[in-house]
Amino acid sequence: MDRVRVAELGQERLDWRFKAVPAEAWGLTVREYLATGPALDRLGTPLLTLDAGALEHNLRTMADWCATAGLRLAPHGKTTMAPALWQAQLDAGAWGITLANFSQLRVARGFGVRRVLIANALLDPVGLGWLVAELAADPAFSCLSWVDSAAAVELMDRALRAAGAERPVEVLVELGGPGGRTGVRDLDTALEVARAIAAAPTLRLAGIGGYEGALAHDAQAGSLAAVSRYLERIAQLYHRLRGDGLLADGAVVTAGGSAYFDQVAGVLGALPQAEVVLRSGAYLVHDDGFYRGISPLVRGAGATAFRSAMHGWARVGSAPEPGLALLDGGKRDFPYDEGLPVPQLVRGRGAVGGTVTAVNDQHAFLRGADVRVGDVVRLGLSHPCTAFDKWTLVPVLDDADAAEPRVVDLVRTFF
């Protein structure tokens, strides 16, 4: 990445655009504000924060796990859309950054990311024209994307020819599964797509892509078996493409979100002459919900589990009836698609019980908790992918469990 461009984020001036930032910080740069040593209590609610110690722990834990397993890691940058966190992941040994579309790719190129894996098909002619210019301007820039049909190959080839492409765009045949998301559904069709890629002068077949997370959503035996069967089909396709001379040594084989990367290692890790790349993205932040329950490092695939690095903070604004409190944070502030926020503690008073039973745009319904109007409740959250998109600037605390947490960084996002 372009370290200078990432460092320049520290010179951005704070103002009303950033809902996490108090008015007392307006007019200061990020660096100037951090130099004041702001405390958590100086920030308003609702609020999303990160924990510095948990981020570092997760970063090193995943890097060490991949090194031991002999796998590459191209973390899915869409989880955070935070260039400073991408830089940390690359510094820890990541092979590249995974993204999903042209708008995310433009952010990555704005910060100089040089190896990008697009876990999607790129068919938009306008975007492909821009990509041609980027590839021509930077010989060190590498971008791999997916295709799952001969029609997609034809559309890409047509758009790239029209844009005057000189460097072939690297693509992966995507293999899917019944009931899953995108991807060729059978090996024979995948072979046809691979041959179409090989025949297109503007494209180069670079490997195979897939996503097992679309086929399972828990860690039950049946789900784990379905994931393994799917990964075995990827291995079969790899051997067929190699046998037909369509894949060279060092071809990329990529799968592995944040839920089943241990199975990717077990099934695909031994493929001969393959560059096996995981795309896990949620590991860096982890959570107190979905990933806490399904992560391989919770299920025994590693000696050390990830730690949740994100928390919500919301204030009790109303207690209109016995057993019910309304918090001032809701769908606009915290993720809710993979489970509702979980109350953990009240600032200054310790652990709290109760349950969040529903969320509106700006409120959470907290029932059965011993709280008073004005209390600030820390919430455990589920699914980082839908947490970051609600915040343009996320404060990082030195220790979210401390009696008086301090803000040590501000993470800028670009959604």
User: Token pair for residue 185?
Assistant: 């559904």
CB-CB contact of 292 with 308 (8 Å): yes
CATH number, domain of 46, equals 2.40.37.20
Write the pLDDT tens digit of every residue in 223-234: 999 999 999 999
pLDDT at 133: 98
CATH number, domain of 219, equals 3.20.20.10
Tens of pLDDT along 242-274? 999 999 999 999 999 999 999 999 999 999 999
Q: What is the mean pLDDT of residues 209-213?
A: 96
Give the count of domains, the chain. 2
Q: Are residues 204 and 350 in the same domain?
A: no
Beta strands in 273-382 (DSSP E): 274-278, 310-321, 324-327, 342-346, 350-351, 355-359, 364-367, 376-380
pLDDT digits (tens, 9 = 90+) for 272-331: 999 999 999 999 999 999 999 999 998 887 779 999 999 999 999 999 999 999 999 999
Percent of the chain's residues with pLDDT above 70: 100
| pLDDT (mean) for 143-169 | 98
Q: Are residues 250 and 207 in the same domain?
A: yes
In a domain, 151, yes or no: yes
Find tokens 């924990």 and name the residue: 51
The answer to whether position 301 is within a domain reads no
Is residue 46 reached through a cis peptide bond, with omega within 30 degrees of 0 on the bond before it?
Answer: yes
Tell whether 247 is covered by a domain.
yes
Pair (192, 267) in one structural domain: yes
Share of the chain residues as helix, strand and coil, in percent rounded to the nearest 5 = 35, 25, 40
Residue 299: predicted pLDDT: 86
**Res. 367 pLDDT band, cuts 50 70 90:** very high
Residue at 137 is within a domain: yes
Same domain, yes or no: 141 and 27 = no
Residue 25: pLDDT band with limits 50, 70, 90: very high
Q: How many residues does the chain have?
A: 415
What proportion of the chain, given as a percentage, has pLDDT over 90? 98
The arithmetic mean of pLDDT across residues 3-18, rounded, is: 98
Structural domain of residue 28, as residue ranges?
A: 3-52+306-412
Whether residues 262 and 403 share a domain: the answer is: no
DSSP conformation class of 273: T
pLDDT of residue 179: 87
The pTM assigned to this predicted structure is 0.96
The per-residue pLDDT for 302 is 78
CA distance 382 to 71: 27
Domain check: are 131 and 254 in the same one? yes
Alpha carbon distance 252, 74 (integer Å): 11
d(CA 76, CA 99): 6
